[in-house]
Amino acid sequence: MDYRIERDTMGEVKVPADRRWGAQTQRSLEHFRIGTEKIPMEVIRALAYVKKAAARANLELGKMDQERADAISAVCDEILSGALDGEFPLSVWQTGSGTQSNMNVNEVIAHRANERAGRPLLHPNDHVNMSQSSNDTFPTAMHIAGALEIKGSLLPAIDLLSGTFATLEATYANLIKIGRTHLQDATPITFGQEVSAWRHMLETDKAMLESAVDYLRELALGGTAVGTGLNAPKGFDEKAAAAVSQLTGVAFVTAPNKFHALTSKDQMVFAHGALKALAADLMKIANDIRWLASGPRCGLGEITIPANEPGSSIMPGKVNPTQCEALTMVAVQVMANDTAIGLCASQGNFQLNVFAPVCIHNFLQSVRLLSDAMVSFRANCAVGLSPIPEKMAENLSRSLMLVTCLNPLIGYENAALTAKKAYDEGISLRDACTLQGFLAPEAFDAAMKPEGMV
C-alpha cells in the first residue's frame, strides 16, 4: 500500500495515500481498534452542517475570507451528498468527547478543499475548526442528527402505521368481540375500539417525540472548550445556529447556557425517553396482534395476518408472526439503549460529558430501528391484517363475562352465581340464570344484548 506522510503536533504519521484524512484520524484508527461500531454517518453529516454554518458565521463576522468559506461549504456539500462516506472510518469506542471524529471531518474538508484548489488553502484547525472546539461541535452534531432523524424518518413512519390502524378502526367500528383483561375474558368491545387504542398510542408517542425535539433544537455551538466561548467572536453562536436552521430546514437556536450544553446530556435522555415510550407501545401492539392471530386452530384465532415466509424448517405449513417478533426485538433493543443513554448522561464531570459517541450511537440506532421496523411491520403485517368475524362471534357467545350486564337486574352476587354455575356445569348463562330463578327466559333475552355493552 502506498502512503504519504501527515504531520500533527505529535509528529509524523503514515496515512494511506488514497485517503483524505490526516494524522489525528490515522492515530485514532491505530489506537482504537475496538469493535465494529462506527460513528454514525448521520453524525458526520451533522458535523458537515456545523462546519458549513460555522464558515458562514465566521465570514459574516469578518474572521474568514470568502474563498475559504466557499471552499469549506463546497466540501461539506460533498459530504452531505454521500460522495465522501468512505473517509469517515472511526470507531464509536474512541475519545468520549468525539474529538477524533471532529478532527476527522476537519481533516477531510481541509484535504479535499486543498485538492480542489491545487494548493494549501485550508488548515483543519485554523480554518475548518475556526471559532469551535470538539467540546461544542460534537454535542451540536448530536442534537442536529437526533432532531433530523426523528423528524425525517421516525415521525413519518409513525404516521403511516397510525394511518393504517385508523383505516382498520373505521372499517370494523361495529364488529363486536370479547374484551380481555388479565388474559381473561372481559366485557365486549368492538374490534374498531381495540384498534383505536393502538392508533392513539402512536399519536400520543408522536406528540411526545415532537415535544422532545424542541429540546434538541438547542445547540452548544459557540461554547467552545468549556462553555465560555473562548476564541469565538461575539455573536458567532447565534449566527451559526441561524445558518444551521437555514441549511437543515429545522429551526435550531443557540443554547442559552453553554456550560449546561457541554456537560449535560439531559435533553438526549428526555428525547430517548419518548423513543422508549414508543418502543413500549409497539411491544404491546405487536404482542396483541400475535396473540389475536395465534393458532390457526389451537389459539385465539380472531384475526389473520399475512403469511410471508415458511415458519419452520421441520414443520411443513407452519407460519409464524415474524413481523411481530422483529418489532418486539427492536423494542427490547431500544429499551436497552435507553439504559445506556441514561448511564452516559449521569457521567458528566465538571465542564464536559465524555460519553458522547456511545450516547449518540445508541440514540440514532433506536431512531433507525424504530423507523425501519414500523415501515416493515406496516407493509408486511398491518396492511394485511383482517378479523375473522365467525371466530369473534363464537368467542363472544361463549364468554361468561356477558353476565356483567345482568348486575343492575339481579345484583352482583346473583350474577356471580350465574357465571359460576354456567362454568361448573358447562351450560349457557341463560340456562344458569333461569334455572336459579333469577330471571325469566324472556327477561334474560331482553337484557343479554352484547351490542348494548360496547
- Among all residues, which ones are annotated catalytic? 182, 312
Which H helix or E strand runs over 16? Answer: strand 11-16
**HSE-up of 225 (CA within 13 Å, CB side)?**
2
Strand-pairing partners, residue 369, are none
Would you call 243 helix, strand, or coil by DSSP?
helix
C-alpha cell at 270: 428526555
Q: How buried is 234 (Cβ within 10 angstroms: 0-12 exposed, 13-18 middle, 19+ buried)?
A: exposed
Quote the crossing angle between the two packed helices 356-380 and 134-149, to the nearest 10°. 10
CB of 88 closer than 8 Å to CB of 70: no
Cβ count near 177 (within 10 Å): 27
How far apart (Å, rounded) are the C-alpha atoms in residues 168 and 175? 11
Cis peptide before 296 (omega within 30 of 0): yes
Q: What DSSP string describes 196-229? A: HHHHHHHHHHHHHHHHHHHHHTEE-TT-TTTSS-
Conformation bin of residue 314: beta by default, left when phi > 0, alpha when psi is -120 to 50: alpha
Please measure the distance between the N-terminal and C-terminal CA atoms of the chain and give it in whole angstroms. 74
Residue identified by cell 485554523 is 126
CB of 395 closer than 8 Å to CB of 177: yes
Greatest Cα-to-Cα distance within the chain, rounded to the nearest angstrom: 102
CB of 390 closer than 8 Å to CB of 382: no
Q: What string of H, E and C letters represents the secondary structure of 270-317?
A: HHHHHHHHHHHHHHHHHHHHHHHCCCCCCCCCCEECCCCCCCCCCCCC
